[in-house]
């Protein structure tokens, strides 16, 4: 468990260490309180069951002793002094009921004992019998305090650096209290930093131009290969215009549904109303959007060829 916790803590960022540790401590304390309450409740049930079982057992033994006394008296006493058969049968029934109840209590006692044994195997303990010693110099508390001090120091350093950047951007001189110890902020260094920023901006601009060129090439390739120009009208909505469309407004609208795993749904347009046969065949029955788009392309192509 300690190795698993250490490996889990090693994956946390420095900013997440303290909240995660506090939450784990709170969860552990809450779990400990619940276990204490559960142990107390189970012990109370066990003691109650044992007490009831003892009472029932004593009662059964007393009734059995009375029964034996009555049986011994039947041979020497007059028949008029004997208890009737009905009373004997009722006593026997009571004895049987008490024995059955004792068996149930014994089963409940075994179940409670098994639960207590399982809790003890899981690492729980009885606070009335086991004493927990808390270390005064707890490593977790020391680490938490050390982390808090580091965060405060880093926050002060960030505030100082922000003030220094603001002063440098304004072209003012750097106060002595804001100067970085062990380094001199000269104009040459500032100029070098500006050149690096300009170089990075130029590089980003070139990357944007390359991306735009590649995107245009990709759109052109898709238009040439599939015969459809694909445009994004709104979020998760795409407009497909065929190169063989008879009118400029003849287009198909598809919408990606997030709830159904990105499944495309055809939206109604004026052009989609003219291809209902293809919709019924390829979308409703065959459930194939590529087949539907191919059929529409062939239909528009045949119209232009015959025209």
pLDDT in tens, 217-226: 998 999 999 9
Provide the pLDDT confidence category of residue 16 given band limits of 50, 70 and 90.
Answer: low
Given CATH 3.40.50.10540, say whether it is the number of domain 227-306.
Answer: no
pLDDT of res. 214: 92
Question: Domain boundaries in the chain?
Answer: 192-226, 227-306
Task: Identify the weakest region by mean pLDDT among 18-27, 34-43, 154-163, 218-227.
Answer: 18-27
pLDDT of res. 182: 47
pLDDT of res. 289: 92
pLDDT in tens, 96-114: 999 989 989 999 888 888 8
pLDDT of res. 235: 83
pLDDT at 247 over 60: yes
Model pTM above 0.85: no
Can you give the chain as a three-state secondary structure string?
CHHHHHHHHHCCCHHHHHHHHHHHHHHHHHHHHHHHHHHHHHHHHHHHHHHHHHHHHHHHHHHHHHHHHHHHHHCCCCHHHCCCHHHHHHHHHHHHHHHHHHHHHHHHHHHHHHHHHHHHHCCCCCCCCCCCCCCCCCHHHHHHHHHHHHHHHHHHHHHHHHHHHHHHHCCCCCCHHHCCCCCCCCHHHHHHHHHHHHHHHHHHHHHHHHHHHHHHHHHHHHHHHHCEEEEEEECCEEEEEECCCCCCCCCEEEEEECCCCCEEEEECCCCHHHHHHHHHHHHHHCCCHHHHHHHHHHHHHHHHHHC
């Amino acid at each position: 468990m300690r190795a698993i916790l250490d490996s889990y803590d090693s994956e946390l960022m420095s900013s997440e260490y303290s909240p995660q540790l506090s939450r784990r401590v709170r969860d552990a304390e809450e779990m400990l309180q619940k276990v204490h309450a559960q142990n107390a409740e189970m012990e109370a049930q066990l003691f109650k069951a044992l007490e009831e079982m003892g009472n029932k057992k004593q009662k059964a033994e007393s009734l059995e002793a009375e029964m034996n006394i009555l049986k011994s008296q039947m041979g020497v006493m007059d028949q008029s002094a004997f208890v009737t058969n009905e009373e004997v049968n009722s006593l026997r029934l009571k004895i049987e009921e008490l024995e059955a109840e004792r068996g149930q209590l014994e089963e409940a006692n075994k179940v409670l004992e098994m639960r207590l044994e399982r809790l003890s195997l899981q690492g729980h303990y009885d606070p009335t019998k086991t004493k927990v010693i808390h270390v005064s110099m707890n490593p977790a508390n020391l680490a938490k305090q050390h982390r808090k001090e580091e965060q405060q120091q880093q926050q002060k350093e960030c505030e100082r650096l922000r003030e220094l950047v603001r002063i440098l951007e304004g072209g003012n001189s750097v106060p002595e209290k804001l100067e970085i110890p062990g380094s001199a902020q000269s104009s040459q260094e500032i100029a070098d930093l500006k050149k690096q920023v300009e170089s990075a901006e130029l590089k980003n601009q070139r990357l944007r131009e390359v991306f735009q060129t590649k995107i245009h090439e990709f759109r052109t390739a898709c238009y040439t290969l599939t015969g459809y120009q694909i445009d994004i009208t709104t979020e998760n909505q795409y407009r497909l215009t065929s190169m063989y469309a008879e009118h400029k407004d003849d287009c198909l609208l598809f919408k990606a549904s997030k709830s159904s795993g990105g499944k495309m749904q055809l939206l109604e347009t004026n052009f989609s109303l003219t291809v209902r046969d293809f919709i019924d065949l390829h979308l409703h029955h065959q459930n194939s959007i590529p087949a539907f788009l191919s059929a529409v392309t062939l239909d528009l192509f045949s119209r232009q060829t015959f025209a």
